Amino acid sequence: MVSARVFERIKKSFAHEDANVETALVLIPLLILFLVGAQLIVATNLRNLDMAIAQGDAASRAISQEFISTDQIFEVGGRIEKIKILVTHRTNSLPQLVPGLAVLLGGNPVTDVVGISVIEP
């Protein structure tokens, strides 16, 4: 008898939950939209940060003449004077704020930026 009364109370309390279901149906897509927007903002800011770091690395390596194995050096110019250009690459993975978004987009989100500098003689 006691369990039937408890069951009836629970049933009555859930009978008045229509507004909560409607609220959840509105809030869940809104939350997903917010997280996708936040993911885009984070990705853009991290890419800009990586771009600044890659450019700084290229400039410091071009001045100090200390290169690493992944650096690329190109010679540009004519017969009289040739200019050497240093190209550096920087790759980082992005954090995932929306679970499963990377799978839908087809891979692991990464930033791949390039830094370019002229090597001083």
Other residues' Cβ atoms within 10 Å of the Cβ of residue 94: 16
- Judged against a pLDDT cut of 70, whether residue 16 lies above it is answered with no
Which of 83, 73, 89 has its CA nearest to residue 120?
Answer: 83
Q: How many helices (H) and strands (E) does the chain have?
A: 3, 3
Residue 11 has pLDDT above 80, yes or no: no
pLDDT value at 43 more than 70: yes
Domain that holds residue 36: 2-119
Has residue 6 got a pLDDT over 90? no
Dist. CA 113–CA 86, nearest whole Å: 14
What is the total count of domains within the chain? 1
pTM: predicted TM-score of the whole model, two decimal places: 0.69
**Does the pLDDT of residue 87 top 90, yes or no?**
yes
